[in-house]
Amino acid sequence: MYLPHHFAETRTAELYRLITEYPLGVIVINGTNGLNANHIPFLLKPEKGEHGYLLAHVARANSLWQEVKDGDEVLVIFSGADAYISPNWYPSKQESHRQVPTWNYQAVHVSGKIQVRDDEAFLRGVVAQLTRDHEKRAETEKAWKMTDAPKEYIAQMLTAIVGIEIEMTKLVGKWKLGQNREERDRVNAADQLHQRGALAVSAAMLDTI
């Protein structure tokens, strides 16, 4: 990933926060059939290992788990808030007209070693925690639990998935939020985004000031 120093985010807590808030990652493998990318919701376990672990599951029909060997290197990409930035939002543009459009965003690239986990205990644990986390986010009137469904049905569904576990070895964060712009330009662009409902990226831009 192209990473100018002023866009580099090195705070581990911030990288973990983005992964937790935007858990749908893109896992990229160089498998037996070449490059393969899949969109998967991940569960972050920061307390495991030196840099943490990512846990997830895929459909048994998905070839991903058959295309890798335990210990293979993989890349997982997490994308946070993003938005188009118009040059018209920069006060300095009105003076010099030396501005062009851009796109602001937050992203974390995780490198790690994958392991396939095809045991029921692992799968039950991952599915249960993912469900708890996302039911809470969904703010449903009554959170759905695995025990809401018949035991035999859940058992059958578990046989249709395969678990994956990724030991994270490197995290690279890029917060491209206008840090290379004048403060007045960043503030006004953030305000324009806020007015248009892009609250997350607007707040992130103001946090860099």
- The Cβ of residue 8 has, within 10 Å, a number of other Cβ atoms equal to 12
78, 38 contact by CB (below 8 A): no
pLDDT of residue 79: 98
Q: Please report the pLDDT score of residue 95 as a whole number.
A: 79
Enter the DSSP assignment of 82.
Answer: E
Closest CA to 65 of 35, 39, 41, 31: 31
Q: Which superfamily, per CATH, for 5-181?
A: Electron Transport, Fmn-binding Protein; Chain A (2.30.110.10)
Cα separation, 53 vs 18, whole angstroms: 15
pLDDT at 158: 95
Q: What pLDDT digit, counting tens, does each position of 127-151 carry?
A: 999 999 999 888 878 888 888 889 9
pLDDT at position 208 is 78
For residue 95, the surrounding DSSP H or E stretch is helix 93-96
Q: Distance (Å, rounded) from C-alpha 1 to C-alpha 12?
A: 18
Intervals of the chain under pLDDT 50? none
Tell me the pTM: 0.93
Rounded CA-CA distance 38/27 in Å is 5
